[in-house]
Amino acid sequence: MSGLYNPTVAMITLRATLSRKRAFLFAIPAAILILLTVALKASRPPLRPWPSHVLGTFGFSVLIPLTALIIGTSVLGAEVDDGSVIHLLATPVRRSSVVLTKFAVATGLTVVFAAIPELIAALIAGGGTVPGQFGSGPGGPILGPVTISTGKFALGLFVGALACSVIYNAVFVMISAATTRAIAVGLLYVLVWEILMANFVSGVRLLSVSHYGLGIANGFINDSLLQAGLSALTSVILGAIVTVGALALAVRLLSGFTLKGEPA
């Protein structure tokens, strides 16, 4: 196929992903986030800082990575596991086209099951007033409390979540091409790297996908409570490098896909 996107591969991938038993798992993290937001909104006065913490820290380092993990490892990893990928690979379809199509499908599903729920939760939570931060904003230095509109808050988080969906899926598709234990490896990466290390060791943020997302979100919102460790520009550049690098590696790995023989 001359194009990078193959509609037949997309159709098979989408149907395979949604027909598997684990498809119902896709919606669980999103449901938890929305329920949590509704519960907090109902039980507390409209004060900060919980929306930034729940939607920022929890949303970006738990909800989106876990949803992307389940989806990103389904689109390729599940087929590699059960061997059905052979029917796809025994055709002249370019390996880059297989990887990019599966990545596109995974990203689309993650947007539906993580980024849009993040947007809905942000709209439910609403904006608010946050303590000021020292630094410069678009209108000069910001020192006092800042009011963030609901629209800006939701838009920022949604764009950040979109970026996270893209980058995470590139990483998980690559992991699926690299190992047959993609879910275990991916889960370990999310728990140890994204949740533990990135939130406690500041240097790790440079290599943390959730911090790229937070950085991009913060570029819109300018909310110190998001605890974004990276600027929006740095996040975009590093995110792009990780995405392109992971996908290139995935193509390379899939081109060398091997079938194990019977034990001799």
Show the beta-strand stretches assigned E in the chain: 128-130, 135-137, 140-142, 146-148
Contact pick of 5, 8, 203, 245 for another protein (by CB under 8 A): 8
Asked if residue 134 binds another protein (CB under 8 A), the reply is no
Query: How many chain residues touch another protein (CB under 8 A)?
Result: 32
Q: Which stretch binds another protein (CB under 8 A): 53-61, 177-185, 226-234, 255-263?
A: 255-263
Asked if residue 42 binds another protein (CB under 8 A), the reply is no
Q: What does the per-residue mask of binding to another protein show for 71-100, with x meaning CB under 8 A?
A: -----------xxx-xxxxxxxxxx-----
Token pair of 195, please?
A: 């949740």
Contact (CB, 8 A) for 5 and 103: no
| Unique residue bearing structure tokens 């970006």 | 60
Q: Which stretch binds another protein (CB under 8 A): 8-16, 124-132, 162-170, 198-206?
A: 8-16
Token pair of 254, please?
A: 């899939």
Please identify, using beta-carbon distances, which residue of 24 and 200 lies nearer to another protein: 24
Asked if residue 264 binds another protein (CB under 8 A), the reply is yes
Contact (CB, 8 A) for 51 and 157: no
Q: What is the largest CA-CA distance in the chain?
A: 72
CB of residue 263 to another protein, shortest distance in Å: 6
Which residues make Cβ contacts (< 8 Å) with residue 134, sequence separation at least 6?
141, 142, 143
CB of residue 260 to another protein, shortest distance in Å: 8
CB of residue 16 to another protein, shortest distance in Å: 6
Closest CA to 56 of 238, 216, 235: 216
Q: To which H or E segment does residue 142 belong?
A: strand 140-142
Can you give the binding site for another protein, defined by CB under 8 A? 1, 6, 8-9, 11-12, 15-16, 19, 82-84, 86-95, 255-264
